[in-house]
């Protein structure tokens, strides 16, 4: 069931992660197949040692903090001033939504996440970064929640989506086919999100097929695509659909 859980949650009363959420204090505690990410823990969350919680999937899907911060700065600067709300459709363990809230640009930030374990991590992590109360939390399918609960906010909102890309295997394709992205293709995402809001930002593989993105530009409007890099290498791109003005 979809659930707005901004009030009354009690998981912050305990620092013990619930089932499916972990804070690994040692490499040897981690499952072997995700151990390679342990070295990246401080670039994922600089406050990792404060007790950041992760799900196992989050280790390869979360947006690293410097990238999330830069994306948040760009969205804040480039969105029309009239947009006062930011909706993050796939909040995961909170990498992006924490950065959006920390930017101070938005009257309210909304976070939607289907996986209750990831949502518990996101709330806990937002607490560590001091922004938990600036975010309204929704558990459930983002498309249903956008349609049934947040539709009225659309005209005031920028909608951000960092969807699953089908796992780390995305790297095996030289050019990533966005029509085959799983579980949501480019159009599965764009159509409902653009129905809700004119300003939509998608966080996608760095190898995404640019022709497929270009084909989605409306009329004469341009779609800005930005690479986000760390240590000289692209981590991912953001595609900005709608009226964004980059200085
Ligand atoms: P990566 O390619 O797995 O890592 O992810 P890296 O360190 O660039 O790989 P390597 O070639 O150096 O070994 C790069 C970035 O993509 C990560 O930091 C995440 O932000 C993002 N990312 C990766 N995956 C698999 C996903 C995903 O499924 N969804 C989303 N939204 N982001 C992802």
In a domain, 247, yes or no: no
In a domain, 30, yes or no: yes
In a domain, 246, yes or no: no
213, 169 Cβ separation under 8 angstroms: no
Q: Report the number of distinct structural domains present in the chain.
A: 1
Tell me if the pTM is above 0.85.
Answer: yes
- Spatial CA neighbour of 62 closest among 27, 82, 90, 29: 90
How much distance in Å is there from the Cα of 20 to the middle of ligand 1? 21
Q: Which of 33-37, 141-145, 218-222 has the lowest mean pLDDT?
A: 218-222
The CA distances from residue 201 to 4, 71, 138, in Å, are 23, 10, 19
Residue 150 has pLDDT above 80, yes or no: yes
**Whose alpha carbon is nearest atom 14 of ligand 1?**
235
d(Cα 99, Cα 64) in Å, to the nearest integer?
10
* Ligand 1 nearest-atom number relative to CA 36: 13
CATH of the domain at 73: 3.40.50.150
Host H or E run for residue 185: none
* Range(s) of the domain holding residue 232: 3-241
- Residue spans of alpha helices (H) in the chain: 41-44, 58-61, 65-78, 95-103, 116-128, 142-148, 186-196, 210-214
d(Cα 110, Cα 89) in Å, to the nearest integer?
8
In a domain, 91, yes or no: yes
Dump pLDDT digits (tens) for 163-173. 999 877 888 99
How much distance in Å is there from the Cα of 114 to the middle of ligand 1? 20
Specify the pLDDT at position 9: 52
In a domain, 122, yes or no: yes
Q: In this structure, what are the phi and psi dihedrals at residue 139, rounded to the nearest 5 degrees? A: -105, 125
- How many CA atoms, within 13 angstroms, populate the side-chain half-sphere of residue 201? 28
* Ligand 1 nearest-atom number relative to CA 40: 7
Dump pLDDT digits (tens) for 38-89. 999 999 999 999 999 999 999 999 999 999 999 999 999 999 999 999 999 9
In a domain, 183, yes or no: yes
In a domain, 137, yes or no: yes
Specify the pLDDT at position 229: 98
Residues in the chain: 247
In a domain, 28, yes or no: yes
């Amino acid at each position: 069931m979809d659930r707005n859980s901004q009030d009354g949650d009690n998981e912050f009363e305990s620092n013990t992660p619930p089932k499916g959420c972990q804070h690994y204090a040692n490499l040897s505690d981690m499952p072997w197949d995700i151990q390679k990410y342990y070295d990246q823990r401080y670039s994922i969350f600089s406050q990792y040692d404060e007790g950041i919680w992760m799900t196992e999937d989050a280790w390869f899907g979360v947006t690293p903090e410097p990238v999330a911060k830069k994306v948040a700065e760009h969205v804040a600067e480039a969105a029309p001033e009239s947009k006062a709300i930011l909706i993050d459709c796939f909040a995961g363990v909170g990498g992006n939504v924490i950065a959006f809230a920390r930017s101070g640009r938005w009257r309210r930030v909304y976070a939607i996440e289907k996986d209750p374990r990831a949502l518990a991590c996101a709330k806990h992590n937002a607490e560590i970064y001091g922004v938990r109360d600036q975010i309204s939390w929704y558990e459930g399918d983002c498309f249903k929640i956008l349609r049934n609960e947040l539709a009225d906010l659309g005209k005031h909102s920028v909608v951000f989506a960092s969807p699953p890309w089908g796992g780390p295997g995305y790297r095996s394709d030289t050019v990533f086919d966005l029509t085959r992205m799983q579980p949501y293709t480019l159009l599965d995402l764009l159509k409902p999100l653009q129905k809700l809001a004119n300003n939509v930002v998608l966080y996608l593989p760095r190898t995404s097929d640019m022709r497929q993105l270009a084909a989605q530009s409306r009329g004469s409007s341009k779609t800005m695509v930005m690479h986000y890099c760390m240590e000289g290498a692209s981590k991912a791109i953001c595609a900005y659909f709608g009226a964004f003005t980059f200085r």
